[in-house]
Amino acid sequence: MANPIEHGGAAAQSNSFRQQPDEHGHFGGRYGGRFVAETLMPLILELNEAYEAAKADPAFHKELVYYQTDYIGRPSPLWFARRMTEAFGGAKIYLKREELNHTGSHKLNNVMGQILLARRMGRTRIVAETGAGQHGVATATVCALFGMKCVIYMGATDVERQKPNVFRMRLLGAEVVPVTAGAGTLKDAMNEAMRDWVANVADTYMLIGTVAGPHPYPAMVRDFQSVIGEETKAQMQAAEGRLPDVVVAAIGGGSNAMGIFYPFLDDVSVRLIGVEAAGHGLDSGKTAASIERGRPGVLHGNRTYLLQNADGQIDEAHSISAGLDYPGVGPEHSWLNDIGRAEYVGATDTEALEAFQLCTKLEGIIPALESAHAIAYAAKIAPTLSKDTLLVVNLSGRGDKDIFTVAEHLGVSL
């Protein structure tokens, strides 16, 4: 229904970057959308209606704030990283401490929003995909909290390299299903979760862990993650009396980045930098840098930049970090890239490993390997920036889950 007030509002703010997607779920008229089989189409239309209703309901927000505060532990601090700042010798470095959330990453922000929505919709069974296992753990956690059935699809390769998280999910009562199709990573887990959903539409809610999938997921997940950027804005105001100059975040599917970017989109003085996993190097053929080395195409319900071959077959991504090992990226990032509002760069496996150790030694914070990609890029540009430049890194998760991977790369046997 055309709402005259909304129309007036949209016209008044027509040069805002915060008006996407359109009613069809398209970002910039091109990316995103709803590319799903007919069996799922009525479901995502229903989900869209349910989400719009929840968004407009103060009781839903009140409930969400309650769980954000008393269960997740929000707000997360904005930490001035003094020793890192001194070591880099340039910009003033702040860390947004999403690793302090319950379950150790930003993932719970989104999961909490969606589980409350699933409950409103009367669903009793949750399916989700996971890469690093952080989204799976967050999902299993809220399913335990609300007594719901939980099935997590995880690539067999990832089950191997993220054993502690697999054990955590099982302790929390989830069924973890290893997926052997393809390379056994995140994209294969996503396919399998979608197959489960198609087969169990009556009672099942699919809880997607990043700003991808068919509309409304990219917009909805962004909205639930935007608490990161909103807090950062207020905290920086309190600490420095102004906006930050640069915001840096790692990009897997792009949810922690969208969450910290979104509230700053219309503050055009703020440089937004998304760091993709370059893997062995952007031109090595073993990379997960979808925006830098991919081209637009359709996968998992939306149009976005994808790593694909000349015939439109999707390539396997590569990254040391399971959470970034995905050949696509959220469609809003594709749009922000094309219009130049955000910059997208890469950090390699090696650079991430160095940043992982650096952050641990200088700040006493063990970052997730995913977040270490953002730190690695901050380390690269900070020395080129003046000392009064305010640079925020989104520390999206803690690295306890990664110590085995890191030990192996350092040649240490645990």
Partner 1 sequence: MSRIAARFKALAAQGRGALIPYLEAYDPDRETSLELFRAMPAAGADLIEVGMPFSDPSADGPVIQAAALRGLKAGATLVGVLDMVAEFRKGDDETPVILMGYVNPVESYGYERFCKDAAAAGVDGLILVDLPPEEGAVIAAPAQAAGLDIIRLVAPTTPDARLEYVLGHASGFVYYVSIVGITGTRSASAHDLAGAIPRIRAATDLPIAIGFGVRTPEQAAQAASIADGAVVASALLATLAQTLDEQGRATSQTLPRVLEQIRGLAQAVRAAGQQPE
Q: Is residue 299 left, alpha or beta, with left meaning phi > 0 and alpha meaning psi from -120 to 50?
A: beta
| Residue keyed to tokens 């990832």 | 158
3-class SS at 363? helix
Backbone φ and ψ of 271, nearest 5°: -80, 125
- Find out whether 134 and 161 touch, Cβ atoms under 8 Å: no
- The least distance separating ligand PLP from the CB of residue 186, rounded to whole angstroms, comes to 8
Which candidate, 111, 82, 80, 113, places its Cα nearest to that of 96? 80
Position with the least CB separation from ligand PLP: 397
The correct pick among 34, 106, 107, 271 for binding partner 1 (CB under 8 A) is 34
Catalytic-labelled residue, pool 98, 99, 129, 231: 129
The DSSP secondary structure of 194-263, one letter per residue, reads: HHHHHHTTTTEEE---SS-SSTTHHHHHHHHHTHHHHHHHHHHHHHHSS--SEEEEEESSSHHHHHHHGG
Q: Which DSSP symbol is given to 126?
A: E
Give the residue with the Cβ less far from ligand PLP, 92 or 294. 294
The correct pick among 396, 402, 405, 406 for binding ligand PLP (CB under 6 A) is 396
342, two tokens = 């955000």
Among the residue ranges 30-38, 275-283, 359-367, 399-407, the one whose residues contact partner 1 (CB under 8 A): 30-38
The reply on whether position 43 binds ligand PLP by CB under 6 A is no
The reply on whether position 26 binds ligand PLP by CB under 6 A is no
Buried b / exposed e over 110-147, threshold 16 CB at 10 Å, is bbbbbbbbbebeebebbbbbbbbbbbbbbbbbbbeeee
The correct pick among 102, 182, 240, 266 for binding partner 1 (CB under 8 A) is 182
**Considering only residues 278-307, where is the footprint of partner 1 by CB under 8 A?**
297-301, 303, 306
**Considering only residues 196-215, where is the footprint of partner 1 by CB under 8 A?**
198-199, 201-202
The reply on whether position 41 binds partner 1 by CB under 8 A is yes
Catalytic-labelled residue, pool 92, 107, 187, 401: 107
Catalytic-labelled residue, pool 321, 370, 396, 401: 396
- The least distance separating ligand PLP from the CB of residue 256, rounded to whole angstroms, comes to 3
Rule CB under 8 A: which residues touch partner 1?
24, 33-43, 45, 181-182, 187, 190-191, 194-195, 198-199, 201-202, 297-301, 303, 306, 308, 310-314
Catalytic positions:
107, 129, 396
